[in-house]
Structure 1
Amino acid sequence: MSERDYEELVAELRDLGRAYVVPEALDQRQAVRARLARPAPRRHRARFYLSAVVAALVLAVAAISPARAAVLDAVGGLLRVAGIELRDEPHGALPATPSPLPSQEAAGLAQARARAAFPVVVPEKLGSPDRVLLADPDKNGAPRVVTLLYRGGTVRFDQFDGMVDPVFLKTAPDGQWVEGVGDVAVWLAAPHPVRYVDRDGVTRTETARLAGPSLIWTTGSVTYRLEGLATLEEASEVARSVR
């Protein structure tokens, strides 16, 4: 499958996910069957059937246990959503001292807001950040990533421009959907390695590090990642306070 086909498949999966928001499991199955029964153009038929099957698997897991759906199990160990790629696979050794993100620099909050091409927000529940970092700027100096650090650096709030696949590449044992946070959200409760994929799609293995519990969500065309809060309840409360 080409990269273009892959991106079209991802778009179809997102469309299917939005189309099948039905409260009862039986109705979900009926909706999937009805979608499968519709004719599709010949050149897109194989990809369409694959989209429908994956959507049906995700819906089946959600119907069984909406609050604790193991998302990765539903899609065979790989899920890309909103610029995040989650993989259920072993990972190699992590660097003893991880490198910072590309061209990372400290800045003030006002400076970050002036330079970023997207609205830089702050969680009201956390207040003013201890530090602000900008990373991976474009040719005009606009950072791709803005990071706010709290509680001596133990809590990290990353904001990154767009929904590029992928931005942060994670290896994680499981993930679960979260409702009521942004447009779409995933919670990773267990510690997991994280490494950065830059603007050119190059995986920065030297940035790999062990990350704590993380909540990842998108709102509009911006993706957010909140790391370091121990429970989903606290992370969700902080996420909802973003202004």
Structure 2
Amino acid sequence: MTDRDDDLIDELRDLESWLAVPEPADQRVAVRERLSRKEIGRWRVWLAAAVAAVAVTVVAVEPARAAVVDAVASVLRIAGIEVERSNNAAPPQSSPSPLPSAGSVSLDVAKQKAPFPVRMPAALGPPERVELADPDDNGVPRVVSALYHGGAIRFDQFDGSAGAFLKQARDAQWVDMGGDMAIWLSGPHTLTYVDRTGAERTATARLATPTLIWEHGQVTYRLEGFTSLEEARVAALSLS
């Protein structure tokens, strides 16, 4: 070894006080931290991708939701109305009672008294009769009904936050109502009213004709009497 080599070694040793060389343990910690940050980054990317995939899936599945629900559920629900598929529904009595305390009023009075916006299908023209049913102590009705074509077509509306009707039917299917989901009952079915106390009023049970049921906002609608789904849909979409 030459004198020059010795001088170089001494100079390198002198540099030790100027350099902050981490201990091996510190290096391991630093490496772990870097790896952890990379791992978190990868998880964030994966999570974002997963969320995006779920969002796309939900959007894609939404139009098919009716078929999915239809395949797995025997009970279909729209706010305030429950439809149970049943092949053994007992036939209702032949002379059902009207809804509790039902009374005929003008459309203007119905709009004033109802606790929700009263709308009517413009496609059907002015109703021949408007009824208010099941009022509270202040006379505020729970259900507003409109009759057309000599009573062959009936249009009920009520606040969907409280249950009002039970139905038993052989055939019930989900249909799209311009963004709102609806239930179409294509055949005769048993209809029972549930009063303000939650009691089933079997005295009102009757055999109802084909019916379209849907909800918009806080109001649930029930349009009965059309044998064609398309005709019922046209009338339902003309609410004004």
What TM-score do you get using the length of structure 1 for normalisation? 0.70
Whether contact under 8 Å (1:182, 1:217) holds in the other structure is no
Mapped to 1, the partners of 2:207 and 2:130 lie a distance apart of 21
- Name the structure 1 match of 2:215: 218
Q: CA RMSD in A?
A: 2.2
Aligned residues: 185
Structure 2: how far apart are the matches of 1:21 and 1:123? 32
More divergent stretch after superposition (166-175 vs 86-95): 86-95
Aligned match for 1:193, one of 158, 176, 190: 190
C-alpha separation in 1, matches of 2:116 and 2:125: 20
For 2:118 and 2:82, how far apart are their aligned partners in 1? 23
| SS of match in other structure, 2:127 | coil
1:32-71 equivalences under 5 Å are 62=64, 69=67, 71=69
Query: Conserved in 2, the CA contact under 8 Å of 1:157 and 1:227?
Result: yes
SS of 1:236's equivalent? helix
Aligned partner of 2:90: which letter? Answer: G
User: Partner residue of 2:80?
Assistant: 83
Structure 1 SS opposite 2:145 = strand
1:93 is aligned, of 86, 91, 94, to 91
Partner of 1:159: 157
Percent identical pairs in the alignment equals: 52
Q: Which runs of at least 4 in structure 1 moved beyond 3 Å after TM superposition?
A: 18-21, 69-73
Q: 1:129 to 1:79 in 2, by over 3 A?
A: same
Matched, 1:109 2:107: yes
Deviation at 1:74, TM superposition (A): 1.9
Corresponding residue SS for 1:85: strand
Structure 2: stretches of 5+ with no match in the other structure:
1-54
> TM-score with structure 2 length normalisation?
0.71
**Structure 2 residue corresponding to 1:171, chosen from 168, 172, 183:** 168
CA shift, 1:83, in A, is 1.6
SS at match of 1:110: helix
User: Given that residues 186 and 216 in structure 1 are in contact (C-alpha distance below 8 angstroms), is that contact kept between their aligned partners in structure 2?
Assistant: yes
